[in-house]
């Protein structure tokens, strides 16, 4: 008869929790670095795969493939969510980093259009599909792992490290870009230099794989396995059927994510192109401004996460919803008209402060909605579906609106999405007080 006592019968110390969270988070950093390197270097490799057209047309093509990668994220959220809920969080996180490594290596070695014709953009799509599958599974599993590994008292703080490392992945991508911009000529970057960050990402994935092999499994999953006999687990309905028993929670994740993901991708991945394509900054200036603003955002995450441990999750989400609804249009207009580096940086910092009301706590809020046996799938699948539709298309829609001469329409689109999420925040309970996570 299985024991009802988990492997870690004694309460975890803060040091042991931190060690496990760091090990998991570094893998998360590498995965998101690989994901964002594509966006950061699109300005350089777009002509290699899409040689015809002006800069905006080339960016549209590369953004379309960026969006295609998002289409695999729901499949990744589903498959790896199922895998994590059945075989453990650690096993799923190992699998996701392996897939990301393969996608990055393929892009690094991919010949240009001039050598293999249409096979070049076709294989680029394959690589992005593999990376999309990886990231789709990474989010739900890592959010579950960090939230379960954190104790009840500091769950918001510790789980915020998902976005600390997510943003750190973006920063690392930009840091590599800055280094290459300083050490290589523009011609060298366009010719072959853009391949270097993908090679770095593939190599870094090996380090992440090693670290994740030495991670501990969460107590919540271990206890579930030990207290639920194998025949009982096998007799249970499929995980997807179980998930359908939580329609309110699934819809809450979708509504919670909608505005947050649009604002996030607007002011992070798209902002760099916006600074070049609309505000008129050079590529080097745009990279520096984006890097500085993202560094501030990274530092904000644990502060806002800790704040939610004191005030609750809902007030923080309401701050984001109200500020994003009222502030997006004026921020985008001002950012598009400014020509000063510090002014652009200041405007982006304001956007990052607003954005942090969502990014710092969205993982823990979603994890607190679901019971252990369905948590990774419950967090990952509806999130990935929402991001695939809205986050993945954000950059493409922004560039399309720019090309059609109606750029401000995109600003209002972001505002409407944020307003919809605000309605969800007003109606949802504070998950800090209604959490389905065990009070460990």
Under the banding of pLDDT at 50, 70 and 90, the label for residue 440 is very low
Q: Minimal CA–CA distance to 358: which of 256, 287, 281?
A: 256
Give the residue among 427, 413, 18 at the shortest CA–CA distance from 215: 18
Q: What is the pLDDT of residue 63?
A: 65
Please state, in angstroms and rounded to a whole number, the distance separating the CA atoms of residues 106 and 125.
10
Q: Which residue has the higher pLDDT, 386 or 227?
A: 386
The pLDDT score that the predictor gives to residue 3 is 38
Per residue in 23-47, pLDDT (tens digit) is: 777 777 887 888 778 777 877 877 7
pLDDT in tens, 128-153: 888 888 888 887 888 888 877 777 77
Name the token pair of 347.
Answer: 């405007």
Instruction: Write out pLDDT tens, residues 47-87.
Output: 777 766 656 656 666 666 666 667 787 888 888 888 888 88
C-alpha–C-alpha distance, residues 79 and 65, integer Å:
22
- The CATH number given to 24-225+238-432 is 1.20.1250.20
pLDDT at 97: 83
| Higher pLDDT, residue 46 or 2 | 46
Q: Is the pLDDT of residue 345 over 60?
A: yes
State residue 14's pLDDT score.
63
1 pLDDT more than 60: no
Give the model's pLDDT for residue 439. 47
What pLDDT is stored for residue 266 in this prediction?
92
Of 52, 75, 55, 175, the residue nearest 133 (C-alpha): 75
Closest CA to 392 of 61, 32, 67, 62: 67
CA–CA distances in Å: residue 27 to residues 74, 93, 337: 20, 8, 38
Most confident of the following: 98-102, 380-384, 426-430 = 426-430
Buried/exposed 40-78: b ≥16 CB within 10 Å, e otherwise: bbbbbbbbbbbeeeeeeebbbbbbbbbbbbbbbbbbbbb
pLDDT at position 222 = 76
- Average pLDDT for 353-365: 93
pLDDT of residue 161: 86
Q: What is the pLDDT of residue 25?
A: 77
Per-domain residue ranges for the chain? 24-225+238-432
What pLDDT sits at residue 424? 95
Instruction: Output the pLDDT for position 357.
Output: 95
d(CA 161, CA 360): 8
CA gap 217, 211 in Å, rounded: 13
Mean pLDDT of 241-267: 90
Q: Which residue has the higher pLDDT, 171 or 15?
A: 171
Residue 373 has pLDDT above 50, yes or no: yes
pLDDT band of 98, cuts 50, 70, 90: confident
How far is residue 193's CA from residue 326's CA, in Å, rounded to a whole number? Answer: 41
User: Burial of 405 by CB count in 10 Å (0-12 exposed, 13-18 middle, 19+ buried)?
Assistant: exposed
Give the residue with greater pLDDT, 245 vs 297: 297
Single out the residue of 255, 215, 206 nearest to residue 31, CA to CA: 206
pLDDT-wise least confident of 53-67, 279-293, 400-414:
53-67
Does the pLDDT at position 7 exceed 50?
no
The pLDDT mean for the chain works out to: 83
Across 134-143, 211-220, 245-254, 420-429, least confident range: 211-220
| 3-class secondary-structure state, position 110 | coil
3-class SS string, 369-382: CCCHHHHHHHHHHH
214 CB neighbour count, 10 Å cutoff: 10
DSSP symbols for 263-294: HHHHHTHHHHHHHHHTS---HHHHHHHHHHHH
- Helical segments of 214-268, H only: 219-227, 230-235, 239-243, 247-267
Judged against a pLDDT cut of 60, whether residue 229 lies above it is answered with no
Q: What is the pLDDT of residue 141?
A: 84
Local confidence band at 438 (pLDDT 50, 70, 90 cut-offs): low
CA distance 80 to 430: 28
């Amino acid at each position: 008869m299985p024991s009802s006592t988990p492997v870690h019968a004694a309460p975890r110390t803060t040091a042991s929790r931190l060690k496990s969270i760091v090990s998991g988070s570094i893998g998360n950093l590498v995965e998101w670095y690989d994901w964002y390197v594509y966006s950061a270097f699109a300005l350089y490799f777009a002509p290699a795969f899409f040689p015809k057209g002006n800069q905006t047309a080339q960016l549209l093509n590369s953004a379309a493939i960026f969006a295609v990668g998002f289409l695999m994220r729901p499949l990744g959220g589903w498959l790896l969510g199922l895998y994590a809920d059945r075989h453990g969080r650690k096993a799923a996180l190992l699998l996701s980093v392996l897939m990301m490594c393969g996608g990055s290596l393929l892009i690094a070695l991919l010949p240009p259009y001039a050598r293999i014709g249409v096979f070049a953009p076709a294989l680029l799509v394959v690589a992005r599909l593999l990376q999309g599958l990886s990231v789709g599974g990474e989010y739900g599993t890592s959010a579950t792992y960090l939230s379960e590994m954190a104790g009840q008292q500091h769950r918001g703080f510790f789980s915020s490290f998902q976005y600390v490392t997510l943003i750190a992945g973006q920063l690392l991508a930009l840091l590599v870009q800055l280094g290459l911009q300083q050490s290589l000529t523009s011609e060298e970057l366009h010719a072959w230099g853009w391949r270097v960050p993908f090679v770095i990402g593939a190599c870094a994935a090996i380090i992440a794989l090693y670290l994740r092999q030495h991670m501990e499994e969460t107590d919540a999953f271990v206890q579930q396995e030990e207290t639920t006999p194998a025949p009982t687990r096998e007799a249970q309905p499929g995980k997807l059927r179980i998930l359908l028993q939580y329609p309110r929670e699934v819809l809450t994740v979708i509504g919670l994510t909608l505005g947050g993901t649009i604002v996030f991708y607007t002011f992070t991945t798209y902002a760099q192109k916006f600074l070049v394509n609309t505000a008129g900054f050079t590529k080097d200036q745009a990279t520096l401004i984006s890097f500085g603003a993202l560094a501030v955002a990274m530092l904000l995450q644990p502060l806002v996460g800790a704040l939610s441990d004191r005030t609750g999750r809902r007030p923080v989400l309401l701050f984001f919803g109200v500020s994003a609804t009222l502030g997006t249009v004026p921020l985008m207009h001002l950012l598009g008209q400014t020509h000063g580096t510090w002014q652009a940086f200041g405007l982006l910092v304001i956007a990052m402060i607003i954005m942090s009301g969502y990014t710092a706590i969205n993982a823990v809020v979603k994890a607190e909605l679901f019971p252990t046996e369905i948590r990774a799938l419950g967090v990952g699948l509806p999130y990935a579906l929402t991001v695939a539709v809205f986050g993945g298309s954000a950059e493409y829609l922004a560039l399309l609106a720019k090309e059609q001469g109606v750029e401000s329409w995109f600003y209002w689109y972001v505002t409407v999405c944020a307003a919809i999420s605000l309605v969800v925040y007003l109606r949802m309970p504070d998950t800090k007080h209604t959490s389905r996570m065990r009070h460990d």
